[in-house]
Amino acid sequence: MPDLSKILHIALLILVVITSFNLIIFVHELGHFLAAKWRGLQVDRFQIWFGKPIWKKEIGGVQYGLGWIPAGGFVALPQMAPMEAIEGSNSDTRPLPEIKPIDKIIVAFAGPLFSILLALLAACVVTAIGKPADFIPSQIVGYIEKDSPAEKAGIRTGDKIVAVNGKPVSGFRGHLDSIFERIILSKGKEITFTVERKGESAPLTLTSAFKIEDTKWFQRRALRRVGIGPDPEYLIAGTVYEGSPAARAGLKPEDKLLSIDGKKFHFADEAVDLIKGAGDRPFVIEYEREGKADKLTVTAEYPAAPAELTKSLMVGIRPVGIPYRDSTIINPSPFKQVGDSLEMMWTTISSVASKDSSIGIDQLNGPVGIAKVKYAMLEMDHPLNRLLAFFVIFNVNLAVLNMMPFPVLDGGHIVLALMESVARRPVRAKFLEYVQLAFALTLMGMMLYVTSKDIGDGFGHDDDQEVKVVFKQP
């Protein structure tokens, strides 16, 4: 029988995700609504989510509603550019007085403005309560994948990466200027690493290719990678194969590996070499579980399968390096949070627009992807802090996207109003209606496309499972 408390917990998290998403949309549309009322525009409808309303109520001549398509929202303003493609037609055909271009600009700009104000409000709370740094500060290479582009380029474990493509780096992951982010956001066909190496008097410049793993057609394309990992703080038994000598001796996955035959090790390769060096003689593994240290004795054996491994002595452990992650609570200023979000948004847009980048539209998140991110944050430590920090990023992104100068978006309304101001006459309604419809369909198509990737990423990972090593039972 399902655990009722777990079901209620999941339901509560989903409710929080939906509520936070709708709050963001509501505040954005509230900006348009209040500005329209201030400038004397007629407001027909105020609706959260698109499509035919599943709930509606008219108050003071304005129909308030909730649509059936769980994405976005709108304020129907017939004196602005025609938006019937998304908002539906207005049954009232009475002519309305024309409004000035400045009124259109103010109303269009109010939505992004309210999103930025909400971002600043959330950022003030984050400044007060803090958020986890979630940053890997190490710049030391602790792992190199065999036959990877990094190995072929000459990068070695122990190298300190100080720059990627000539740009200084800060840590391995967590900032836009970190090594991981520099790699995935790089442009061109090669990536240049500047490394400091023990024994070398000057930094070395190494040029590496990159690879992008194959994914299924319904999934997002993978990101650029060169096959390196950060210097680990400690190693764990990432996998302990069933029936293996290690499993029979009592070792469990996630156990922290301290030493082998009294010898300390730093990298996963070192641990594997120590195990191989022991051959078929018994050796002692010291480990830590739930803060308590213990030791056990194991002897390597030949596995029964798969065939390519049956000639190698193994104990049935796959060591995994766990890097040090700085999770201290930091209190960045509200303006730094908004500024960092703007920089992230600009980097994303420029990467998508660049033909030399591997970042495309399919790497963007739709409503489902955003909901997944929020849900994951609520399952982590400091969930409120993380959600509020993401709240800042999302509101800034919403404001920037809506300010882009394309029809249907707020920036498009501003451009049309400016054109009207220069030409001293409105853009032809019929032409504008076709343009709006075309961009509305394009926007909806893009949303459906990225949403399909949001959903597709959750399926089809069976081929990624590691090789199952089978040991003979004693």
Q: pLDDT tens digit string along 362-394? A: 989 888 888 888 889 989 999 999 999 999 999
| DSSP character string of 367-384 | HHHHHHHHHHHHTSSSHH
pTM: 0.84
Contacts of 441 (CB under 8 A, 6+ apart): 85
Q: What is the pLDDT of residue 468?
A: 74
pLDDT in tens, 320-358: 889 999 999 999 999 999 999 999 999 999 999 999 999
What domains does the chain contain, in order, with CATH numbers? 4-131+376-456 (no CATH), 135-230 (2.30.42.10), 232-323 (2.30.42.10)
* Residue 85 binned pLDDT confidence (cut-offs 50, 70, 90): very low
Q: Return the DSSP state at 305.
A: B
Is residue 464 pLDDT above 60, yes or no?
no
For residue 46, is pLDDT > 90?
yes
Residue 271 confidence class, pLDDT cut points 50, 70, 90:
confident
Please name the residue that has the structure tokens 């190698």: 312
Band of residue 185 on the pLDDT scale cut at 50, 70, 90: very high
Task: Choose the weakest-confidence range: 133-137, 272-276, 470-474.
Answer: 470-474
Query: Residues 136-157: what's their mean pLDDT?
Result: 94
Q: Shortest CA distance to 349 belongs to which of 185, 192, 221?
A: 185
Q: How far apart are CA 193 and CA 173, in angstroms?
A: 16
Residue pair 370/393 in contact by the 8 Å Cβ criterion: no
Residue identified by tokens 């500005």 is 35
Query: Concatenated DSSP letters for 169-190?
Result: --SSBSSTTSHHHHHHT-BSS-
Better-predicted residue by pLDDT, 10 or 187: 187
Which residue is associated with the tokens 């010291």? Answer: 286
